[in-house]
Structure 1
Amino acid sequence: MNPKVSYPNIGLPHKIERLVELAYNLWFSWNDDALELFASIDRQRWEQTLHNPVQLLLETDSAAWNPLSKDPVFMESYERVCSHWDTYLNETTWFQNTYPAHLQQSIAYFSAEFGFHESLQIYSGGLGILAGDHCKSASDLGIPLIGIGLLYKRGYFLQKINQDGQQQAEQIIYDFTKLPVLPVLNADGEELVIQASIADRPVQLKIWQARVGRMSVFLLDADVEGNSSWDREITAQLYGGNQDIRIAQEVLLGTGGVKALRALGLPTAVYHINEGHAAFQAFERINEQLSAGVPFHVALEMIRASSVFTTHTPVPAGHDAFTVGMIEYYCSSLFEKWNNHKQELLQLGQGHGNQLFNMTHLALNTAAMRNGVSKLHGEVSRDMFRSFHGNIHEQEVPINHITNGVHMPSWLAPELKELFSRFLPGHWLTDQTSGTTWKSLELIPPQSLWDVHTQLKEKMIQFARANLVEQYSRNGLPTAQIKEASGYLSAKALTIGFARRFATYKRANLIFNDLDRLDRLVNNPERPVQFLFAGKAHPADQPGQEMIREIHRISLIDRFRGKIVLLENYDMNMARHLVQGVDIWLNNPRRPYEASGTSGQKAAMNGAINFSILDGWWEEGYDGSNGWSIEGNNDADPHTQELENTESIYTTLEQKIVPLYYNQGPLSTDWIARMKRSIQTLAPVYNTDRMVMDYTNKAYVPSLKRTLLFVANQLDLVTKVADYKRFIISNWHHVHVLHVKDESSDNDASPVLATVPGSAGSVPEASSKPAQPLKGVTAQIAFGPIWYKDTVVEIVYYEQREQEWFPVVVMMEPVQELLDRVVQYHATLPAHLEHLAHYKIRIRPVSASFVSSFELPLFTMS
């Protein structure tokens, strides 16, 4: 079936009836003219509803509509927005032009949270906002993406900070009928409800649709009549409750999400697991294949081929894991149905020697395409999961990286969009990934850019003051103190922002390690510095909440009052104000625990300059001229790192950042030049258009093509691949090195008699050096029943480059077949290397149908 929705009857005049259509599509959230259109209806109510157009329309007095429909200014705005919307829907997209043959196959994107806009708060932080930005760019690019998530009745939580600096988590209950989502209807016009199994019972799930431009996200809701009270609470709150609620949410997201796709009749070829929360989708898809009579090993191969997994967590403790008993209980209906495959299913989530069922392991075992979210995070992930792949060198672990980005239309200030449109090429926003586009930034007069930045800074300060006044008033502070707060912060002072989740590794309190030095910075009469802090700590994270109390305490000390401020209830609306208004974006996590970090990318495109630890995205984005790095010995113990990082922060501020900002009086052209350099080098790279194109080119389309090949001809190819893997695994113990001989030095390579198929690897080549004596190496390999051409035989040794050791792989070529399935191989390598002491022989299986060199974590070493 095609998903059907029905708009509520709000009673709008015919002339403006499309306001309902606009309100129920989150396209409004990244289109400034649409946002202004809704705000102009009732600006006070617009603010009170957290910029929620659906609630605005529902609560506006019906008497207001006729005058608006006759207001020429409003109608001109309305018609312009409608025209813009229609053009957007009908224009040819990047995906249509690039992959016209794949328009009918969808990609399902599973995520536990989505952050589209403050009016739909089903996100907690970076993971959800990234998912929302991913969907928005997928819409802009025309990618046939379908989002799958959960609709939380109480969202995450609203943060209040009391007069003691204690975070208070305030729960609210959302009325879904006032959110920009609509229930999906079945063919009879009734609300579509599906059924998923939790433990020994069925759970009813209502499906809601959030429209995001050209694409849709379908959200599952367990608060359905007929479910038990406990089951109705499963989707009550994001990351709320205990382990039982957590696993139940993940079962519903994974298995319920697949069932929703089937009920909606959406043909899906690729499944993207955004973090391990959604990995249970593999269980449901294996169940489908088994029910169709497909053997287990073939079903697993089909699921692997069509799955993409993105890991976001560089901390082992951050990967969800449950006891096997919990898995057996919550997935009991599946295990009862396929009892003969129970152990195989359980093994998909169990690591070597680990008694827990790990959701990341389940995702790794059921997705052929895997990636981290920055270059450094890819390296960390390969090291973290090296043992999972047989302890090969970390560079060879089949986990790649696609660096995160942010959705430019959502995060770039309207004032800057207007300025850029005057000087950049006409289609700069749709051509944002081109570095050439941003060269024209040089044409913008420094004063023009500075004037816009100052305007945004003043807007941010007004927003911050209002937040503080509300906070102080609620906490019953004296009138004089509230009045004082309304004058905090100065648009003339160098302003540094720090806003993110308050987790201990992010070290929000690092700047407070030397309060006297901080005092000299913020109270310099000629060159003052001020700091804004914001962020939530998880209600169960006591150390994170202690950081909030510490910042609050310091902000009330006389010498810091009004110059260090702590804002409450960090959300997407506050984030926009901060990234668009600060001068410096500060980020000082303990390396390498920041997988990517996208707030600095949002700040960069708005002209704020990053000052950060070389971690996550900044490790690859920083070029020495587009911001500043916080230095320290990354190999030192945590205490030493903290001391060195603190010293680097203060020294860089005192000697580089503050002097540059205040140089040349009221207009520092050197500072503005660095602002431009930051935008030019970072904006075209760290955006979700580039990111989603990367996912499409590197993961989605290759997975889609492989899946289509696998399902053709009654699963002929996938069956062959699955049978091949099973045969190799069963017989690999026969493969071993019989004999290795180092020949005398010889500068001439020996002739080769054959070329091993599929031998191309992804390891680095040896660095270029002056010619050195070479020698031949001969090895005799026994293969047993395995055909030697289904393997690669290679020599592995290590070479030091810039204080690190890298593997060098030399392919050995088959020279002749001997008796009893023994094959002789030959290669040349530097004469000084000796077998075992310096190099080893490695044999691994290969196949033209493998995605990576180590798709099967099997190898034999001499």
Structure 2
Amino acid sequence: MPNGGVAYFSAEFGLDASLPIYSGGLGILAGDHIKAAADMNVPLTGVGIFYGKGYFQQHINEAGVQQQWYPEVDLKASIYPVQLVVDADDRPVVIRVTVAGRDVYAGAYSVQLGPVTLYLLNTDVEGNSDHDRRLTDTLYPSDHDARISQEILLGVGGARLLAALGIQPDVYHMNEGHSAFLTLERIRMLSAEGVPFETALEAVKASTVFTTHTPVPAGHDVFSIDMMDRYFGEFYWQLGTDRERVLSLGLLDGAFNMTRLAVSTSSKVNGVSKLHGEVTKDLFHRWMPHIPRQDIPVDSVTNGIHIGTWLADGIKGLFDRHLPYGWDVRTSEQDVWTAVRDIPSAELWAEHQRAKAEMVEELGLPLALSGGAPLIIGFARRFATYKRALLIFRDLERLAHIVGNPERPVCLVFAGKAHPADGPGKELIRRIVELTREERFKNRVFIVENYAMDKAKKLVQGVDVWLNTPVKPMEASGTSGQKAAMNGVLNCSVLDGWWVEGYNGRNGWAIDGATDGDPEYQAQQDSEALYQLLESEIVPLFYKRGERAIPTEWINMMKESICTLAPVYNTHRMVSDYWHKIYVPAAARGKRFAADHFEVASRVAAYKAFIRNNWPCVRVKKVEILADHSSRIGLNKTGLRAEIQLGGIWHKDVRVEAVGSDGNRGIWKAKLEQVQQQSKGCFVYEGVSPDVAINIWKANVNVRVTPISPDFENDFEMELAAWGDGGRH
């Protein structure tokens, strides 16, 4: 990849607790992503917002009610030096954006991580009104006007900042949809140079990639059309097209959806685990019902974690002594980790006990550790209802029996924040506080307030079991369990997100995760499975002592967990996947589309316009099942003939295929070949079924026509298909 590298846009970056400009998993992932890019010398530039008061600090009062306060972020306290961005004359770099018809100015700070620079925009600068100076105070404000203003600043302002600094990325990576307005600004820049809108759109799309993290419709930012008009009324015309065309890029269900905009303006879209990729296809299939969910163009790159950030010092020292030299820069190599199996069990156990003791002390837990006891289970994440923090409390008597056994004591430690506007999330916290005060749960159930990266590190390093109980399949990936696994902490999780891929039956425990029935049924099934695991497997194994009074079988599971999970679920592997699967192809595609005065982008734009204008004429007129031996294409196989009307579209610009169900949530496809031209624009196509389709051919087959081009990134780039049922899309 040439010098321009990757511009990585994210609304939050979690680098360290001393720089609290993150709220949770998305920000931690972004921070780990750029740290790994720095380790690997990947040419990447981060773009985000410096929130002057960060995400809120949490206090839980005597009634169990979460209270929020927003102190000013102390830049001097950050372990990462934060510098004001200045020009060659030592003057602050300031960019201007239009927000709801008024000019808003933003300066920027930079954070240096080796070869990677992170730029953070901030509006607390001279020239802004008091109101606008406060626009970047807090992360994820509940007020929609503040939210869209921040997203304009991130996307439009971020693109302008890079231009002002002379940075010309080859690839723009949008980490979630908050930054998607950057694509409109990039189109505007090209329009200002005289590039027509549709050509500019194709050029921007070619070099833009999008990672979605949200598997549910309600999790995506949506703005009303009235709000879009108010904030972009003076911006539409600058893109070289009309209002309706701009809005069409994000229009969904009568509103402007930022995820829809991101998908419309990206050449590659990926989820953050294999399962999440499939769930995202289901979600996007609602937008494109004429394309089978299996064909929705979404890839996946499973998240990982930055091992250097999350590994306990003692465990790192152990690895330094026993793993091959340079293991910390070879984390993706499977062979590097096999040496973990040879670490003396007593040494690994001793380091885990040291991390456990540090956690107990630093978090102020009133526990006396003896021989490793008690067994400590950690549950720490954002308090959102789908994460089901209360699942383990469904049967209080049963839980009290589990945690209250004096011979085999068990403790639960909870931590996390609820968004200030999330009433149900706050109620979860209040209920847990209430339970901690019940006599049967005193000194057995704890909640730690003001959860942040510093406390997260202690928890993932010091607990014995990491518990994760989301409603399947609503956990896009989840990385906290990966952080725990690197430290020898065993996962007990619903088979959702990354754990579906990571679990092998020997490296932790799986709650199968009911997906049928109503939420109450799911909760009942999953809680029963959890109690069974605790009673019959987890607690007995932890307290089963072998030689030297250590839990030998438990430690073997710790080793299995580290050996199997560490080489896969780390950000060096993740960034390598992004580099090879996404960044390098997008950079090449972007350059090809922009070369020779946007020759390819212009050609693709004209081709798509022609296809769209003529697509209403495309029809699958007649479909016939052929008797055996009668097909001109093949003998002794079930065949099919279709009459296709293409109108003015050239027959080589479409793919005609039979599509059917394989009876197991999959589909099969068989290409049909043109064998005859009946009349102008009307053709006969024939083909034969694949072997898998023979038994269910007649009941499950249809014929589909889609536009194709060697310049398309995928077969469904235009989101068009005509089917044999008479419908056209």
Decide: shared fold, TM above 0.5: yes
**SS state at 1:389 partner:** coil
Q: 1:642 to 1:178 in 2, by over 3 A?
A: closer
Residue of structure 1 in register with 2:586 after alignment: 703
Aligned match of 2:714 in 849, 852, 856?
Answer: 852
Give the letter for the 1:226 counterpart.
G
Choose which of 642, 648, 653 in structure 2 pairs with 1:790.
653
Q: Of residues 618, 634, 637 in structure 2, which corresponds to 1:774?
A: 637
SS in 2 for 1:115: coil
Distance verdict in 2 for CA 1:776–1:630, change over 3 Å: closer
Residue 816 of structure 1: CA displacement? Answer: 3.5
Matched, 1:335 2:236: yes
Residue 181 (structure 2) pairs with residue 264 (structure 1): no
Give the deviation of 1:664 after TM superposition. Answer: 2.5
Alignment partner of 1:443 is 2:326: no
Deviations 1:532-552 (A, max 9, x none): 111011111111111111111
Distance 1:639 1:243 in 2: 33
- 1:861 and 2:710 matched: no
What does 1:17-28 align with in structure 2 at a 5 Å threshold? Answer: none
**Separation in structure 2 between the aligned mates of residue 290 and residue 190 of structure 1, nearest angstrom:** 30
Corresponding residue for 1:815?
A: 675
Using a 3 Å threshold, how does the CA distance of structure 1 residues 205 and 831 change in structure 2: closer, same or farther?
closer
Please state whether the residue corresponding to 1:391 is helix, strand or coil: coil
For residue 526 of structure 1, what is the amino acid of its counterpart?
E
Q: Is the 1:583–1:608 contact (alpha carbons within 8 Å) kept by the matching residues of 2?
A: yes
Question: 1:731: Cα distance to partner?
Answer: 0.7
- Aligned counterparts, 1:659-738, within 5 A: 659-665=540-546, 666-738=549-621
* Secondary structure of residue in 2 paired with 1:236: coil
Distance 1:490 1:713 in 2: 71
The answer to which of 144-153 and 190-199 deviates more is 190-199
* Alpha-carbon distance in structure 2 between the residues aligned to 1:339 and 1:691: 38
Q: 2 CA distance for matches of 1:831 and 1:118?
A: 60
Structure 1 contact 738–780 (Cα < 8 Å) conserved: yes
Counterpart contact for 1:390–1:858, Cα < 8 Å: no
Amino acid at match of 1:616: G
SS in 2 for 1:591: coil
Question: Is the CA contact 2:631–2:686 (under 8 Å) kept in the aligned structure 1?
Answer: no
Q: State the shift of 1:375 in Å.
A: 1.1
Would you say the 8 A contact 1:442–1:676 is kept in 2? yes
Question: Match for residue 25 of structure 2?
Answer: 126
- Corresponding residue number in structure 2 for 1:162: 61
Q: Does the residue aligned with 1:120 lie in a helix, a strand or coil? A: coil
2:456 partner amino acid: A
Determine the C-alpha separation between the residues in 1 that align with 2:290 and 2:311.
Answer: 44
Q: What's the secondary structure of 1:224's corresponding residue?
A: coil
* Residues 656 and 673, structure 2, Cα contact 8 Å, conserved in 1: yes
Matched residue SS, 1:343: helix
| AA aligned opposite 1:686 | Y
> Is 1:382 matched up with 2:242?
no
Question: Normalised by the size of structure 2, how large is the TM-score?
Answer: 0.96
SS at match of 2:327: coil
Q: Is the 8 A contact 2:47 2:158 kept in 1?
A: yes
Tell me how far apart the structure 1 counterparts of residues 349 and 326 of structure 2 sit (CA, whole Å): 24
Alignment partner of 1:825: what SS? strand
1:363 is matched with which residue: 254, 262, 276?
262
- Aligned residue for 1:745, secondary structure, equals coil
Worse-matched range after superposition: 826-835 or 651-660: 826-835
CA distance in 2 between partners of 1:526 and 1:185 (Å): 63
User: Which among 270, 274, 294 is matched to residue 175 of structure 2?
Assistant: 274
Paired amino acid for 1:811: K
Distance between the aligned counterparts of 1:855 and 1:654, measured in 2? 51
Equivalent in 304, 309, 316 of residue 417 of structure 1: 316
2:356 maps to what in 1? Answer: 457
**Is 1:135 equivalent to 2:34 in the alignment?**
yes
CA distance in 2, matches of 1:553, 1:135: 40
Residue matched to 1:649: 530
Please report how far the alpha carbon of residue 421 of structure 1 lies from its aligned counterpart in structure 2 after TM superposition.
1.7
Distance 1:405 1:736 in 2: 46
**Among candidates 414, 433, 441, match of residue 560 of structure 1:** 441
The CA deviation string for residues 119-176 of structure 1, in whole angstroms up to 9 with x for no partner, is 1110001000000000001111111111111101110011111122111112101244
How far 1:511 moved relative to its partner?
1.1
> What is the CA–CA distance in structure 2 between the aligned matches of 1:833 and 1:241, rounded to whole Å?
52
Q: How many angstroms does 1:389 deviate by? A: 2.7
Distance apart, 1:213 and its partner CA = 2.0
Indicate how the Cα distance of structure 1 residues 489 and 113 shifts in structure 2: closer, same or farther if over 3 A, else same.
Answer: farther
SS in 1 for 2:612: helix
Alpha-carbon distance in 2 for matches of 1:125, 1:421 = 30
| Cα distance in 1 for residues equivalent to 2:372 and 2:320 | 26
Q: Please state whether the residue corresponding to 2:314 is helix, strand or coil.
A: helix
Read off the aligned partner of 1:845 and give its amino acid letter: P
Structure number with larger C-alpha Rg: 1
- Residue 361 of structure 1 and its aligned partner are, at CA, apart by 0.8
Task: Find the counterpart in structure 1 of residue 152 from structure 2.
Answer: 251
Structure 1 residue 464: deviation in Å?
1.9
Residue in 2 aligned with 1:344? 245
1:120–1:632: structure 2 CA closer, same or farther, 3 Å change rule? closer
Match of 2:727 in 1: none
Paired residues of 1:778 and 1:824 also in contact (CA < 8 A): yes
Matched with 1:840 is: 702
Other-structure match for 1:745: 628
Q: CA–CA distance in 1 between the matches of 2:67 and 2:601?
A: 53
CA contact (8 A) 2:631 2:640 kept: no
Structure 1 residues 432 and 121: CA distance shift in structure 2, 3 A: same
How many residue pairs align between the two structures? 717
CA contact (8 A) 1:461 1:491 kept: no
**In structure 1, distance between residues paired with 2:657 and 2:429:** 55
Q: CA deviation at 1:111?
A: 0.5
Query: What is the distance in 1 between the residues matched to 2:87 and 2:639?
Result: 71
What percent identity do the matched residue pairs reach?
A: 46
In 2: Cα distance, 1:507 partner to 1:838 partner: 39
In the alignment, the residues of structure 1 paired with residue 283 and residue 602 of structure 2 have an alpha-carbon distance, to the nearest angstrom, of 32
Pairing of 1:159-308 with structure 2 (within 5 A) = 159-176=58-75, 179=78, 180-308=81-209
Three-state SS of the structure 1 residue aligned to 2:128 is coil
Q: Secondary structure of the residue that 1:297 maps to in structure 2?
A: helix
- Once the two structures are TM-superposed, the CA of residue 333 in structure 1 deviates from its matched residue by 2.4
What is the CA RMSD across the aligned residues, in angstroms? 1.8
Distance in 1 (CA, whole Å) between partners of 2:290 and 2:362 is 52
Distance (whole Å) between structure 1 residues aligned to residue 91 and residue 270 of structure 2:
40
> Partner amino acid for 2:59?
K
Q: Could you say which structure has the greater relative contact order, defined with CA pairs below 8 angstroms and 6 or more residues apart?
A: 2
The answer as to whether partners of 2:197 and 2:240 remain within 8 angstroms in 1 is no
In structure 2, distance between residues paired with 1:340 and 1:385? 26
Q: Which ranges of structure 2 fall in alignment gaps of 5 or more residues?
A: 725-729
Counterpart Cα distance in 1 of 2:709 and 2:650: 12
Cα distance change on mapping 1:490 and 1:346 into 2, 3 Å: farther
Q: 1: distance between equivalents of 2:596 and 2:240?
A: 30
Question: In the alignment, residue 60 of structure 2 is paired with which amino acid?
Answer: I
- Give the 3-state SS of the residue equivalent to 2:474 in structure 1: coil
Asked if structure 2 preserves the Cα contact closer than 8 Å seen for 1:773 and 1:831, the reply is: no
- Which among 371, 393, 396 is matched to residue 295 of structure 2? 396
> Retained in 2: the 8 A contact 1:390–1:857?
no
Residue 776 of structure 1 and its aligned partner are, at CA, apart by 2.5
Most deviating of 704-713 and 626-635: 626-635
Output the CA distance in 1 between the equivalents of 2:514 and 2:694. Answer: 37
Shift of 1:335: 2.5
SS of equivalent to 2:173: strand
Partner secondary structure for residue 385 of structure 1: helix
Q: Distance in 2 between the 1:489 and 1:313 partners?
A: 42
In structure 2, what is the Cα distance between the partners aligned to 1:831 and 1:359?
Answer: 43
2 CA distance for matches of 1:667 and 1:198? 63
Structure 1 residues 832 and 168, CA gap change in structure 2 (3 angstroms): closer
Q: CA deviation at 1:178?
A: 5.2
